[in-house]
Amino acid sequence: MDARMKITDVTGPYREPREQVFSYDYSIQRASWPTAQAVRVKVAIPEELDVLRSKILGAVAGTPGQQLMISKCLSRHIADEKIRIADADGMLAERRDTMVPPFTGPLAYLLPQLDTWAGEQHAMLRAEIKTLVGL
């Protein structure tokens, strides 16, 4: 049986009201599931987005609109990678898991994988942001 996860839809980013996170809602499907399932992926702004932004772009200035576009682009890439990491870690193997929280606290052991991914994708992400934003 094919156990691979297929992402059928993504919406977001959403700003969580009492947390410093952006969240994305994914609809995922596996061949063995009768219907798709919703999974919310949260990207912590200070611990994940800001840290990876500084590693990828360094100290970048720009207009508030440019900074917003950079945050939206990077947070989406981070969320995409976080859902892949969570799936590989077995967090999404069953239908009861409906959220991938920030990789802090008990999930901090997953943060090095995200950091490694950012290092590998450094050039591609910089080029995409330069094309998108013009910085």
Residue range 60-87, pLDDT digits in tens: 777 888 888 989 999 999 999 999 999 8
Would you say 54 and 34 are in contact if contact means Cβ atoms under 8 Å apart? no
* pLDDT reading at 13 higher than 70: yes
41-43-49 Cα angle (round to 5) = 155
Residue range 27-54, pLDDT digits in tens: 998 888 888 888 999 999 999 999 888 8
- The SS3 call for residue 3 is coil
pLDDT of residue 21: 94
What separation, in Å, do the N-terminal and C-terminal C-alpha atoms of the chain show? 46
d(CA 32, CA 87): 15
